[in-house]
Structure 1
Amino acid sequence: MASFGLKVIRRVFAAAEHVAPRLTGRAAFELFCRTPNAKVLSDGERRAVDRAAGFMTEARHHRLKTKNGCVMVHEFRPEPGRRAAGTVLVIHGWRSRTEYMRTLIEGYRDAGYKVVSLDLPGHGQSQGRRLTLVSAVEAARLTGEWFGPFVAVVGHSFGGAVAANAVVGSVKNIPPLAAERLVLIAAPSSLPAIFNDFSRMLSVGLRAWADT
């Protein structure tokens, strides 16, 4: 059952579409791109972050400047004295962060790889409260400039969409990310389908999206 707040938002968007469809579409898109406050965690999220505290101290942390702020990249190196078999880039999903990818990162590191994990804009220790596919791909490209090329890029959920678009170079004016392999875990098969689901949830009609 929808909350009272969601019911109000639906009514506002349904009415606004007939008055100002373009403005309504832009407002809906900005709401779609708005990320949760990374400092406000549920009890489960807080426990996961706390359990990974020791794991995170093993990493070297790098703050990289993008066009829209700074993103954090965490570098996990193999055991001392062991030569890295290559570098793997890990990209988490929406409302996720490096701490939640701990098991995956440890697996690659134990296999002899250096792992760099990107906190997407608006997530983890990165700045901002807005995330788009373009800003995410730009952050991945910047990570590649500093730590690539990669033997593999691994993306989970929305991070899979970011990884795929970064590697194939689908975003205009952003060069492809150099990687030998692409690994996708539970990645969306269609971003337009996600937009459509979001639109239905907020009662945003076709006029608003068509004029955006």
Structure 2
Amino acid sequence: MKASKKLVKKYLPKIIGLRLNSLFLIKPEKAVFKAYELFSSPRKGQIKPEQEIFLNKAKTTSIEYNSNKIQTYHWKGEGKTVILIHGWDSNTHRWKDLINDLQKENYNIIAFDAPAHGYSEGKLLNVLMYSKCLNRMLKLYRPEFVIGHSVGAMAIVYNQYLKQSSFVEKLVLLGAPSEMSAIMSDYKRILRLSDKFMRALEAYFKEKFDYNFSEFSIAGFAKNIEKEALIIHDEFDRVASVEAAKAIHKNLKHSRLKITEGAGHSLNKDEIRKEILNFLNQ
């Protein structure tokens, strides 16, 4: 059974890519749209039964965003407000240990499941969509501190690049990728899409979002952000290169960079959570 699952995992992207390349020869617009949908469709992130126990301790509510209900969680505290933004194929439960630590110091904690993740509705997600959803949450809860992981961290930077929130004091960016061009290069490699296909996909991206792949750079957007920030990234992160963190740090005017070894992409370690708490408390 395990062997068969490994074979499926190994060859499925190639099969999908072959079908997309074949469709592109006949109906290029349809193929490009399907490639965009595939890129923006999470595979995981739904709430597991064992995760419900922790999440049920929070006060929950649904907020309407873009005709979808977004699930929010509130652990009430008397201190400053922290909002938590999880990454791809994840949900609010990924913050369990950090939430426990924040509660010990009486922070007021807000988290939410991204569109198409957890208990939130929707089918698609990308950084631009996530940023708009985050903006809704920022206006509603007005947090002093914003913490994001992976794609969630990308959404924070892009959101603040568009318009810095006056009430936000500090940002924490965990395992953040930077360059859309690098992400799409991996997408091309995994699916073995043709050069012509990728040029058409980039043209679709430009028309839809007003950015070429090379223009959508988290490190580039960081140049205009004045907030104090803590960037944490693992040296051996297999999802997002540590070079992304270094580039973001170089451009964020008031940032500090912490590079770990062995914490992986999740960065869920006691010493890392202590680093975050120390940064917020200063």
Amino acid at match of 1:136: Y
| SS state at 2:42 partner | coil
Code of the aligned partner of 2:17: R
* SS of equivalent residue, structure 1 residue 153: strand
- Measured after TM superposition, the shift of residue 68 of structure 1 is 3.9
**Equivalent residue pairs, number:** 193
Task: Provide TM-score, normalisation by structure 1.
Answer: 0.81
- Give me the identity figure in percent: 23
Distance 1:167 1:111 in 2: 27
Which runs of structure 2 are paired with 1:18-97 in the superposition (5 Å)?
18-36=25-43, 38-39=45-46, 46=48, 50=50, 52-78=51-77, 83-84=78-79, 86-97=80-91
2:17 equivalent to 1:10: yes
Q: CA RMSD in A?
A: 2.1
Give unmatched runs, 5+ long, in structure 2.
Answer: 1-6, 205-282
**Contact 1:35/1:131 (CA < 8 Å) preserved in 2?**
yes
Deviation string, structure 1 residues 170-204 (Cα, Å, up to 9, x no partner): xxxxx544521110011112233112211221122
Q: TM-score, normalised by structure 2?
A: 0.62
Runs of 4+ in 1 over 6 A off after TM superposition: none
Equivalent pair of 2:45/2:118 in contact (CA under 8 Å):
yes
The superposition leaves residues 87-120 of structure 1 with CA deviations (integer Å, 9 ceiling, x where unpaired) of: 0110000011111211112222222211101210
Amino acid at match of 1:117: A
Which of 166, 180, 191 is matched with 1:191 structurally? 180
Q: 2:74 is matched by which residue type in structure 1?
A: E
Q: In structure 2, what is the Cα distance between the partners aligned to 1:109 and 1:194? A: 35
2:108 corresponds in structure 1 to 114
Q: Equivalent residue for 1:201? A: 190
2:37 and 2:164 map into 1 onto residues whose CA distance is 26
2:87 partner amino acid: G
Q: Any gaps of 5 or more consecutive residues in structure 1?
A: 170-174
Q: What SS class does the counterpart of residue 63 from structure 1 fall into?
A: strand
Distance change in 2, residues 1:23/1:208 (3 Å): farther
Alignment pair present for 1:160 and 2:167:
no
Aligned AA for 1:102?
A: K
